[in-house]
Structure 1
Amino acid sequence: MLLKIENLHVKYGNIEALHGINLDVNEGEIISILGANGAGKSTTLLTISGLLRPSEGSILFNGDALHKLKAHQIVAAGIAHIPEGRRVFSTLTVQENLRLGAFTSADQQQIQKNQEWIYELFPILEERRNQLAGTLSGGEQQMLAIGRGLMSSPKILLLDEPSLGLAPILVKTIFQTLKQINQAGVTLVLVEQNARMALKIAHRGYVLEVGNIVLQDTAQALLANQDVQNAYLGGA
């Protein structure tokens, strides 16, 4: 078991956003977390990455207590978070953004190797390596955000709404690349409104409703589940 979340409670002030969820991630999996807006999906990712603190419960990564570490220590341990909205550094170049993703590493050889791999995954980024990130299209910025996360050599990549605001053809490209990243040995935890696309590449999925996990199953079973179809897949 690579990542284990047990009885996780998270509060915003007096409001509890997660009500004791349990979630497991095995090495090499793609896990999809489904749910409506406000269900607690982003909160789950933010808590795994140390940007929010649980009020109760535990997060174990390779058996170690992740919830006791600071955010930068969690990155160094092997978890990278690609936030909703991309959040690239708009006044820095593509190359500079990527290099910032490797801030926890002193291994220049590995940094160079990661950068070459990212340019293989996203050739457009190499073409635009000296261009300011703020001048990139939305799709290119999403590629850069994913690339920046990969620069830290993560064991787990957390992705929050990677298809948000992208044209359908770009969405397809991003998801194909996510499969490649997973096949290269990176475990993915994916929060995505495009439930159909997310489940098509996932191994397993969890459904969150108002801070509770109400369903978990293989991705194939969730795609075939009538309730999931009606709620998240447009009834088809």
Structure 2
Amino acid sequence: MLLEIKNLYVKYGNVEALHGININVDKGEIVTILGANGAGKSTTLMAVSGLVKASMGEIIFSGTPLHKISADKIVKLGISQSPEGRRVFGILTVLENLKLGAFTSSDNKKIKKNLDWIFELFPRLKERSEQLAGTLSGGEQQMLAIGRALMANPKILLLDEPSLGLAPILVKAIFETVREINKSGLTVVLVEQNAKAALKLAHRGYVMEVGNIVLEDTAQALLANPDVQNAYLGGTK
């Protein structure tokens, strides 16, 4: 087991956002977490990244308890997140944004190798490497956010709403690239409201409602589940 979330509770002040959830991720999987706005999907990823702290429960990554260490050390262990809303540094160039993603590494050869790989995955970023990130289109900024996360050379990539605000053709392109990233051996946890696209990409999935896991199954089984179809896929065909 690469990542284990055990009985995780998270609070924002007096408001409990996660009510004792359990999620497991095996090495090499794409696992998607589905749910409506406010279900707790992003909170789950932020807890794994150390950006919010657990009030109870455990997060274990390759035997190491993440809930006891700082966010920067979590990145160094091999967990990298591409956040919802992209959050690129608009006044920096594409190349500068990507190099910031490698802040944990001092190995210039490895940094160069990762950069070449990202430019291979996203040729558009190479074309715009000297362009200010704030002038990129939404799709290009999403590519940059994923590329920046990959520069940390992670073992597991956390993707938070990568399709948000993008045209369908760009969503397809981004998801195809995520599949290629996974084929290279990288484990992916995908938070996504585009349930159909996410389930077609993933191996397994979890469905969240108001801070609870209400369903867990293979992606194929969730696609065929009438409750999932009615709630997230526009009804049964």
**TM-score w.r.t. length of structure 1:** 0.99
Cα deviation per residue 1:108-153 (whole Å; 9 max; x = unaligned)? Answer: 1110000000000000100000000000000000000000000000
* Structure 2 SS opposite 1:178: helix
* Structure 1 SS opposite 2:166: coil
| Cα distance in 1 for residues equivalent to 2:107 and 2:23 | 33
Counterparts of 1:65-104 in structure 2, within 5 Å, are 65-104=65-104
| Cα distance in 1 for residues equivalent to 2:199 and 2:108 | 36
Counterparts of 1:1-236 in structure 2, within 5 Å, are 1-236=1-236
CA shift, 1:173, in A, is 0.1
* Structure 2 SS opposite 1:193: coil
* Structure 2 SS opposite 1:112: helix
Cα deviation per residue 1:163-220 (whole Å; 9 max; x = unaligned)? Answer: 0000110000000000000000110000011000000010000000111101100000
The letter of the residue matching 2:186 is V
Cα deviation per residue 1:13-72 (whole Å; 9 max; x = unaligned)? Answer: 001000000000000000000111100000000000000000000000001101111111
| Cα distance in 2 for residues equivalent to 1:4 and 1:171 | 29
| Cα distance in 1 for residues equivalent to 2:204 and 2:132 | 37
Q: Which runs of 5+ in 1 are unaligned?
A: none
* Structure 1 SS opposite 2:130: coil
* Structure 1 SS opposite 2:149: helix
| Cα distance in 2 for residues equivalent to 1:12 and 1:218 | 31
CA shift, 1:83, in A, is 0.5
* Structure 2 SS opposite 1:16: strand
* Structure 1 SS opposite 2:207: strand
* Structure 2 SS opposite 1:17: strand
| Cα distance in 2 for residues equivalent to 1:84 and 1:137 | 16
| Cα distance in 1 for residues equivalent to 2:66 and 2:185 | 21
Q: What value does the CA root-mean-square deviation take over the aligned residues?
A: 0.5
| Cα distance in 2 for residues equivalent to 1:86 and 1:211 | 24
* Structure 1 SS opposite 2:140: helix
The letter of the residue matching 2:153 is S
Equivalent pairs: percent with the same residue?
72
The letter of the residue matching 1:14 is N
* Structure 1 SS opposite 2:115: helix
* Structure 2 SS opposite 1:124: helix
The letter of the residue matching 1:76 is K
Runs of 4+ off more than 3 Å: none
